[in-house]
Amino acid sequence: MDIVKGNGPITGEQIAERLKLTRSTLRPDLAILTMAGFLDARPRVGYFYSGKKTSQAISDNIAQMVVKDFQSIPVVVEESMTVYDAICHMFLEDVGSLFVVDKQSLLSGVLSRKDFLRTSIGNQDLNKMPVHMIMTRMPNITYCMKEDTLIEVANKLMSRQIDSLPVVKERKDGLEVVGRITKTNITRAFLSLADDHDL
């Protein structure tokens, strides 16, 4: 940052030379500083100091965070699975919610820990009951797409008071589940921000 501030515009090659590093070693650092908004880069001119305030750089950074960079792998079960097996599945996969798909592999429901607790304290045989009897079903499912921002996701999680959203791809006959985004992913994004900005 000091080198660019004092000498900009300056090429990546020249910065590397001054730091006695190779250009390729320096490349990720320059990419982060540019993405975070501290430096600007112009082709064939080089890097120069953008003069942007840290708070501005952080808010730009937040606004650019999108689902596809932070999502997890979805854990999916079929509508006919028994509640008992689905509870075991939730433990084995170590997740807080399961997504239910129909025979065409399209999203049909969501199962949370509370759905299982509610059913378990009732007087039902969990080994005989299929999950489609207890799931929250379409069209009442809140979902997102992989290009959505984390701000949009966080708003949905808070306003609907839920812990996770399926990430979906629209198909002509329904929604295909391609990912899962949870409060944990949002917390991870928050920490990556702290890391990027040396907080």
Nearest to 75 by CA among 100, 107, 109: 100
What amino acid occupies position 8? G
Closest approach of Cβ 46 to ligand ADP, in Å? 47
Closest approach of Cβ 97 to ligand ADP, in Å? 6
Closest approach of Cβ 144 to ligand ADP, in Å? 9
Taking CB under 6 A as the criterion, the residue among 112, 149, 184, 192 binding ligand ADP is 112
Interaction with ligand ADP in 39-58: which residues (CB under 6 A)?
A: none
Tell me the DSSP string of 31-50: HHHHHTTSEEEETTTEEEE-
Q: Give the tokens for residue 80.
A: 């006919």
Contact status, residue 148 vs residue 164, Cβ threshold 8 Å: no
Helix and strand counts by DSSP (H, E) for the chain = 8, 8
Closest approach of Cβ 181 to ligand ADP, in Å? 10
Contact status, residue 50 vs residue 37, Cβ threshold 8 Å: yes
Closest approach of Cβ 179 to ligand ADP, in Å? 12
183 touches ligand ADP by CB under 6 A: no
Taking the alpha carbons of 79, 159, 154, 60 in that order, is the dihedral positive or negative?
positive
110 touches ligand ADP by CB under 6 A: yes
Interaction with ligand ADP in 139-168: which residues (CB under 6 A)?
A: 140-142, 162-165
What amino acid occupies position 171? R
Closest approach of Cβ 51 to ligand ADP, in Å? 42
Name the segment binding ligand ADP (CB under 6 A); options: 11-19, 20-28, 79-87, 137-145.
137-145
CA distance 58 to 65: 11
Contact status, residue 176 vs residue 169, Cβ threshold 8 Å: yes
Instruction: Report the residue number, 12 or 96, with the smaller CB distance to ligand ADP.
Output: 96
96 touches ligand ADP by CB under 6 A: yes
Task: Compute how many residues bind ligand ADP; rule: CB under 6 A.
Answer: 15
Residue nearest to ligand ADP (CB): 114
CA distance 131 to 143: 20
Residues that bind ligand ADP (CB under 6 A): 96-97, 110, 112-115, 136, 140-142, 162-165
